Amino acid sequence: MTEVQVAHTAQLDPVVLDATHDLLRTVFAGELSPDDWEHALGGMHALVWEDAELVGHAAVVQRRLLHGGRAWRAGYVEGVGVRADRQGNGYGAALMAAIEPVVGRAYDLGALGATEAAVRFYRARGWQRWLGPCSALTPSGIVRTPEEDGGIYVLPGSFALDLRGELTCDWRDGDVW
């Protein structure tokens, strides 16, 4: 039986969190840094279970994104992954279908940094490429992050966003976007 579970980090048993960490390490084939994992914690998770086996995960955590003179409350999507042998079965879509209503109800907008391979997946769901310059609010001020330009996607809420304007993320260890 396949089931999608939605829960806050605080509601997940440490064994489940370990299984999630293992799943993402496998999906991202050694590319998942300890910071990447930490970035997926502290918000809501969607988990796809096949009976007792975890085969997919996505998380949304709160971040502040500066844009147009405001610090928007953003639902930042992290750790989206489906086990390789289960991809193409609708699990990724089911994960995003569980996460997107959280974004819509709890945050001003959604945002994520997309892997090249997943761009079409997100675009088909209404996520829009950020066209303007990206930057980060670092301890020494706002610093451009040109390597991220074109790789950030947003799910607009009811507020008008200028997709060609500047978008600045809050500070964190590891990859800032």
Ligand X SMILES: CC(C)(COP(=O)(O)OP(=O)(O)OC[C@H]1O[C@@H](n2cnc3c(N)ncnc32)[C@H](O)[C@@H]1OP(=O)(O)O)[C@@H](O)C(=O)NCCC(=O)NCCS
User: Which span sits near ligand X by CB under 6 A: 10-18, 101-109, 116-124, 168-176?
Assistant: 116-124
Residue 38 backbone zone (phi > 0: left; psi -120 to 50: alpha; other: beta): alpha
Candidates 4, 54, 73, 121; binder of ligand X (CB under 6 A) is 121
CA 53 to chain centre: 22
State the CB neighbour count (10 A cutoff) for residue 57. 25
Query: Please, what is the minimum distance in Å from the beta carbon of residue 47 to ligand X?
Result: 13
Candidates 19, 27, 61, 99; binder of ligand X (CB under 6 A) is 27
Q: Considering the complex, state which of residue 69 and residue 88 has its C-beta at the smaller distance from ligand X.
A: 88
How many H-runs (helices) and E-runs (strands) does the chain carry?
4, 10
Q: Considering the complex, state which of residue 84 and residue 142 has its C-beta at the smaller distance from ligand X.
A: 84
Distance from C-alpha of 175 to C-alpha of 2, rounded to nearest angstrom? 33
Q: Considering the complex, state which of residue 82 and residue 169 has its C-beta at the smaller distance from ligand X.
A: 82
Residue 153 contacts ligand X per CB under 6 A:
no
Q: Is 118 within 8 Å of 80 (Cβ atoms)?
A: yes
Q: Considering the complex, state which of residue 90 and residue 133 has its C-beta at the smaller distance from ligand X.
A: 90
Site string for ligand X, 40-79 (x = CB under 6 A): ----------------------------------------
Q: Name which of 61, 121, 133, 54 is nearest 92 in CA terms.
A: 121
